[in-house]
Amino acid sequence: MITITLRGNPCRVEGIFPSVGAKAPAFVLTNGQLADVTLADFAGKRKVLNIVPSLDTPTCATSTRKFNEYAAKLANTVVLVISADLPFAAGRFCATEGLNNVTHLSTFRHPEFMSAWGVKIADGPLAGLTARAVVVLDENDIVRHTQMVPEIADEPDYEAALKALA
């Protein structure tokens, strides 16, 4: 079990966070059209999973905006923003912000993703949401970069994630 912090207060994170070099665990999540999508739906593409607690927080919104900007310049790459936010709310956020280069996927019907990917906040005020993490996968779903952000209020290391795509 990993421990992270929220404004300095410890929170436990359950599950097994993927390691670099490992095959990514399969997943099923819900897209903006309320359809289930799987990791296999993005086969042959490089994937950046920007996993966030909620788009309705400043840091999550910032990371989504930044990854949207970077995604416009990345060939054969999809940026998947994963949170427990309902697809309706995420759709409004992305439309309002003009974010066309990221795909939001929700855990709301598939909470098993959180434990399978080792990002389930187990206690504290955000219990039941995802921790802030970034996972980069190559075209064959091999993990090339991971970061579990130690302080939920902090942004991820964008440069390290992008370097893994080089």
3-state helix, strand, coil in the chain (%, to 5): 25, 30, 45
Consecutive H or E run containing 47: strand 46-51
Q: Which of 11, 29, 60, 129 is catalytic?
A: 60
Mean per-residue pLDDT, 43-58: 95
Whether the predicted pLDDT of 111 surpasses 90: yes
Q: How confident is the model at residue 133 (pLDDT cuts 50, 70, 90)?
A: very high
Whether the predicted pLDDT of 72 surpasses 90: no
Residue 11 annotated as catalytic:
no
Q: Could you say which of 3.40.50.10490, 3.30.56.10, 3.40.30.10, 3.40.50.1820 is the CATH number of the domain covering 2-165?
A: 3.40.30.10
Whether the predicted pLDDT of 117 surpasses 90: yes
- Look at residue 93 in the predicted model and tell me its pLDDT: 86
Whether the predicted pLDDT of 15 surpasses 90: yes
Please list, residue by residue across 130-150, b when 16 or more beta carbons sit within 10 angstroms of its beta carbon and e when fewer do: bbbbbbbbeeebebbbbbbbe
Mean per-residue pLDDT, 130-151: 98
What is the token pair recorded at 3?
């421990």
Q: How confident is the model at residue 52 (pLDDT cuts 50, 70, 90)?
A: very high
Rounded to two decimals, the pTM is 0.95
Domain residue limits, the chain? 2-165
Q: Which residue has the tokens 């607690």?
A: 53
